[in-house]
A = this chain, B = another copy of it.
Amino acid sequence: MVLTVAQLAQRIGAELVGDGAVEINTVAPMGTAGKSEVTFVADNKHMAALESSRAGAVIVAERVEGLSRPQLIVKNVDTALIEALNIFAPKLKPPPEGIDPTAKVGQDAKIARGVSVGPGAVIGDGVEIGEYCVIASGCQIHENSKLGKNCRLDSNVVVYHNCTIGNNVIIQANSTIGSTGFGYSFINGAHRLIPHNGGVVIEDFVEIGANCCIDRAKFGNTIIGAGTKIDNLVQIAHNVVIGKCCLIVGQVGIAGSCRLGDRVVLGGQVGLADNIEIGDGVMVGGQSGVGRDVPAGQRLLGSPATEITEAAKIYGLTRRLPKLAELVRQLRKRIEKLEVAKDDKK
């Protein structure tokens, strides 16, 4: 795919300033972009580097005076960048409509029109798959689970029985939805598994990374709210309820029955203890451990997590502990001197 800057401007609805004849074949970040590549300025702090970039053109939010290359001026650089990336995306064959002959579809399964079921996929009895879903090779969807429209399950995803997945959901390769949670009662000297009669509900526009685990509920449902995005290798335990538009970064672990509000952000490798409530908009920094309820809007860091400015202060003081300990030692000596002086006076 090659477009002139003028053509690209038209495609992404940009105002063109400069030479529209320059040919562009891809998008690249400022540091590596060459003369056939369009770059972008996501925020003003990167504006200074723009002149030294060798990019063939640049997407900006405001006209840059004196810039020696074509500018594509847009209202929202993020939106324009997504459009440009889609334009220059590598061309892949669309997944073939229909059910691959090596796939297996159970009794009473309902596969809507436009669905693609890849090689070796297994669709259990009573499963429903909505229009235009793409179920990639090696997926296993078990009895009575339901998918809405336009979902994409990548290769080797496993969905256990009785799970409910909304519309426009993406689940990446090797993830597991609806496994039995880690709930045991210690009876007569052995851990006995508590049956998990509940399911998993994944709402619209949820996106789940690769190799994630979302356990089914003991009662009711484990719920992932609409628009929430989950990175790779994330563990979500039984009966967790996550609100809308949260961001859950890689390797986070959320223990049983936690309740998260909307727009919560959990950094990489964060752990939440079981049965806590995290309010709307809470942000937790990477590797933090949260063991208590957190009111809406707080920003936390550390294990155990504290409010972020307090955490920063504590970290700073912890690193200065050698100096503090040395200071205390010196103060003790000075006190000893004072005490000796006092005693001498007696």
Residues in chain A within 8 A of chain B (CB atoms) = 26-29, 32, 76, 78-79, 81-82, 85-86, 88-90, 92-93, 100, 102, 104, 118-120, 122, 125, 136-138, 140, 142-144, 154-156, 158, 160-162, 172-176, 179-180, 182, 184-187, 189-195, 197, 205, 207, 209-213, 215, 218-220, 227, 229, 231-233, 235, 237, 245, 247, 249-251, 253, 255, 268-269, 271, 273, 286-287, 289, 291, 303-304, 306, 310, 313-315, 317-322, 324-325, 327-328, 331-332, 334-335, 338-339, 341-342
In the complex, are the beta carbons of B187 and A176 less than 8 A apart?
no
Residues of B within 8 A of A339 (CB): 334, 338
In the complex, are the beta carbons of B209 and A179 less than 8 A apart?
yes
In the complex, are the beta carbons of B162 and A158 less than 8 A apart?
no
> A78-B187, A122-B137, A306-B319 given as contacts; is B249 within 8 A of A182 (CB)?
yes
* Cross-interface CB contact of A85 among B82, B93, B162, B197, cutoff 8 Å: B197
In the complex, are the beta carbons of B338 and A332 less than 8 A apart?
no
* Closest Cβ–Cβ distance, residue A290 to chain B (whole Å): 10
In the complex, are the beta carbons of B191 and A247 less than 8 A apart?
yes
In the complex, are the beta carbons of A162 and B90 less than 8 A apart?
yes
* Cross-interface CB contact of A173 among B160, B273, B303, B324, cutoff 8 Å: B160
> A78-B187, A154-B158, A250-B182 given as contacts; is B173 within 8 A of A85 (CB)?
no
Q: Nearest 5 A-B pairs (CB), nearest first? A: A78-B185, A140-B155, A85-B195, A176-B210, A158-B173
In the complex, are the beta carbons of A321 and B318 less than 8 A apart?
yes
> A331-B328, A331-B331, A331-B335 given as contacts; is B138 within 8 A of A122 (CB)?
yes
Please measure, in the bound complex, the distance between the C-alpha atom of A335 and the C-alpha atom of B330, giving whole angstroms: 11
> A156-B156, A250-B237 given as contacts; is B182 within 8 A of A232 (CB)?
yes
Residues of B within 8 A of A92 (CB): 143-144, 161
Residues of B within 8 A of A120 (CB): 104, 120, 122, 138
Residues of B within 8 A of A331 (CB): 328, 331-332, 335
> A27-B219, A81-B185, A314-B322 given as contacts; is B125 within 8 A of A93 (CB)?
yes
26 contacts across the A-B interface (CB closer than 8 A)? A28-B219, A82-B192, A85-B197, A93-B143, A154-B179, A158-B210, A172-B176, A173-B179, A175-B211, A182-B209, A182-B232, A184-B229, A190-B227, A190-B245, A211-B212, A250-B255, A251-B253, A255-B286, A268-B273, A269-B269, A269-B271, A271-B286, A273-B286, A313-B322, A328-B331, A341-B342
